[in-house]
């Protein structure tokens, strides 16, 4: 019975993929290529149709944050990194922090966002005017 199943699998693969049975890499490559073609066909039209409101371009007075939070489950530690750029793309700040007792990867991402926002606020106003002290952000 097992031999029969193997023969049927091989015959099916032969009918679908031709005389040589594809390797896993070939199957993945084909799937990725087909997914990309589908996205280009279906999502490409939506991207072209989607436009922001007029005047929604980057301002030289804007700040843009890129964050990353990493989490190690075994030690429950997190590493947070962030980069803050101005509207022209110049890096204003690049920093990182470590923390113990981080509960999940999502919490690590949230902590990275919090740290980046605190840093962005200090770029706008000095910390003593913002009421920042310790690990908490207090309302203005």
67 lies in the same domain as 123: yes
Residue 135 lies in a domain: no
Confirm if 64 and 87 have CB atoms less than 8 A apart.
yes
Q: d(Cα 17, Cα 27) in Å, to the nearest integer?
A: 10
Residue 58 lies in a domain: no
pTM for this structure?
0.50
Query: pLDDT, tens digit, for every residue of 125-137?
Result: 665 555 555 444 4
pLDDT at 75: 95
Residue 64 has pLDDT above 80, yes or no: yes
Q: d(Cα 128, Cα 140) in Å, to the nearest integer?
A: 11
Residue 99 lies in a domain: yes
Residue 140 lies in a domain: no
Q: d(Cα 82, Cα 117) in Å, to the nearest integer?
A: 9
Tell me the residue range of the domain where 69 lies.
63-130
68 lies in the same domain as 45: no
Query: pLDDT, tens digit, for every residue of 95-127?
Result: 999 999 998 988 898 999 888 888 888 887 665
Q: d(Cα 64, Cα 88) in Å, to the nearest integer?
A: 10
Confirm if 135 and 117 have CB atoms less than 8 A apart.
no
């Amino acid at each position: 019975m097992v031999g029969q199943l193997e023969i049927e699998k091989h015959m099916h693969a032969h009918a679908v993929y031709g005389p040589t049975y594809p390797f896993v890499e070939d199957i993945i490559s084909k799937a990725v290529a087909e997914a990309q073609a589908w996205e280009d066909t279906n999502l490409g039209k939506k991207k072209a149709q989607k436009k922001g409101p007029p005047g929604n371009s980057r301002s030289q007075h804007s700040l843009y944050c890129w964050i990353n939070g990493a989490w190690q489950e075994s030690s429950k530690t997190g590493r947070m990194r962030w980069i803050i750029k101005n509207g022209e793309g110049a890096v204003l700040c690049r920093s990182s922090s470590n923390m113990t007792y981080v509960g999940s990867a999502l919490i690590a991402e949230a902590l990275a966002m919090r740290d980046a926002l605190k840093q962005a606020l200090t770029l706008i106003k000095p910390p003593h005017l913002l009421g920042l002290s310790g690990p908490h952000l207090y309302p203005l």
